[in-house]
Amino acid sequence: MLKSGTLITVKREADKKKNAVYHGPRFDVYAEDEHGTIYDLEMQNQNHHDIEKRMAIYQGKLENQALYAGQSFSERRQTVILFLCDHDVYNLNRVHYQLIPQLVGHPEILIDNGETNVIVNLKGDASKQAALNQEMLTYFNDGTVTGKFSAALDRAVREVKNDVKKHIGNKSS
């Protein structure tokens, strides 16, 4: 699910709403890596029973940046939507679910459209996961830092919380 790599751009709460009429997402965390892959990381603490539709809207907004004018469609950049949920969306006790497009009537034929959609169940059984994923799940469930990855997450979370405190403090002045 997660791979070690270098993120070169990270933006918190990147607003992609450009239209007053249509619904536009506000990305919780928008990032790009050294390979040009675009990521959107979303936190969901309530099950609204619409996660697949939410993912489609977020993917649609990432599409605007996946291909530059004049580029061939084969040069389209990968896009990844990752929803971190504190509930099991499908009640199958899995740690993560990857939604994939496939050819109707031929489930063995997977369609690579350059999009990856993953739902992470933060309450799932982490013991069946790779070490990096176990570290992430442990951190998000109880705040325990167990390695470099969770230490980086902890620093980022603290930075966001400090920004929010500063932002709220500035509004009341």
Per-residue pLDDT tens over the stretch 11-65 = 655 554 454 444 455 568 888 888 889 988 898 889 999 999 999 999 998 988 8
Please state the φ and ψ torsions of residue 113, each to the nearest 5 degrees.
-100, 10
| CA pair distance 111, 103, nearest whole angstrom | 7
- The reported pLDDT for the residue numbered 6 is 58
| CA pair distance 61, 63, nearest whole angstrom | 5
Mean pLDDT of the region 89-114: 93
Tokens of 3: 């791979």
Per-residue model confidence as pLDDT tens digits over 54-99: 999 999 989 888 999 999 999 999 999 999 998 999 999 888 899 9
Per-residue model confidence as pLDDT tens digits over 130-167: 776 777 777 877 888 888 877 877 777 777 667 655 55
pLDDT band at 2 (very low <50, low <70, confident <90, very high): very low
| CA pair distance 37, 31, nearest whole angstrom | 8
